[in-house]
Amino acid sequence: MVDATPWWQLLCAIAGLNLIIWTASTAWLHRNRPDGTTWPHQRLQLLLSALYVLGCGYRSFLPVFDVPRVVMVDSWASSVLVGRTVATIAELSFAAQWALLLRGAALATGQRFSLWVAYAVVPLIAIAEINSWYAVLTTRNIGHVVEEVLWGTAAVLTVVAMGGLWPQATARGRRWLAVGLTAGVLYAAYMFFIDVPMYWARWVADEAAGRSYTTVAAGVADAASRWHVSHDWAHWRSEVVWMTLYFSVAVWISIGLAHVRLPLRARPPAP
């Protein structure tokens, strides 16, 4: 048996590093506070980022493979019910960060499509979270398929919206947009070409095997009380890539969003 413990220890180390980075980032922003117009925006970004950093840190120390109920630590705190609740709060906070940034930039530039996307991001992710809960409670991977399609769609819409902001952005704003565009394209590609096919394959395999699913009500009790402790690499290898990137790169992006100062506009929008 190949032991997955070193990978778990890496996640824990990254979580500790992320907390240090967030603390240092917050201290730097407080020392270099911008004018009163942009500081409330950045302060809210810091709060949302804190929720995401803490949520990802929790899930790094207590990783859970939701559908098969596999965990690293034998504790109620590792249960799918607790882990999924923490993940929901963290992921909605991250989505709100993107929506907040897009809204501010769209209002400054007069880009209506970008403003529409800003208002659509959080509802899309909220629906994705509902599908995620459906998947983990009933063990039907089709819920994860819908969830990841919605995340990928939100990423594509965000990329298009950021592209629409480019012509009127300042040089500094374009640097931030370039990072966002790159991250968004890579993320959307990962979701549609790797993550969605993976969950679809699991769903098809379960259907072919005649898997028995549980009801939502029964799933709540099961998710709260049943977990299987395993450090076997075979149980975790399908989760390693997305968890490692999600609990590191995505967290760094979340922290970085608090440093984007609005407005990004280089000139007033045309009347």
Domain interval for residue 239: 5-257
Domain presence at residue 122:
yes
Task: Identify the band that residue 262 occupies on the pLDDT scale cut at 50, 70 and 90.
Answer: low
pTM comes to 0.92
Q: What is the pLDDT of residues 88-132, one digit of tens each?
A: 999 999 999 999 999 988 888 888 999 999 999 999 999 999 999
- The answer to whether position 270 is within a domain reads no
Q: In this structure, are residues 87 and 59 in contact, taking their beta carbons and an 8 Å threshold?
A: yes
pLDDT of residue 82: 97
Q: Is residue 266 part of a domain?
A: no
The confidence band for 37, taking pLDDT boundaries of 50, 70 and 90, is low
Query: What would you report as the CA-atom Rg of the chain, rounded to the nearest whole angstrom?
Result: 20
Helix (H) or strand (E) holding 70: strand 70-71
Residue 12's closest CA among 53, 58, 51? 58
Domain count, the chain: 1
In a domain, 269, yes or no: no
Query: Does residue 267 form part of some domain?
Result: no
Calpha distance 269→55 (Å, rounded): 38
Question: Does a structural domain hold residue 263?
Answer: no
At 232, give phi and psi (nearest 5°): -75, 125
Is the sign of the CA dihedral 63, 67, 70, 74 positive or negative? positive
Is 271 within a domain? Answer: no
Mean pLDDT of the chain: 92
- Helix (H) or strand (E) holding 65, with range, is strand 64-65
Q: What is the pLDDT of residue 36?
A: 59
Region for residue 110 given its phi and psi (left: phi exceeds 0; alpha: psi -120 to 50; beta: otherwise) = left
- Rounded Cα distance, 71 and 210, in Å: 25
Q: Does 223 reside within a domain?
A: yes
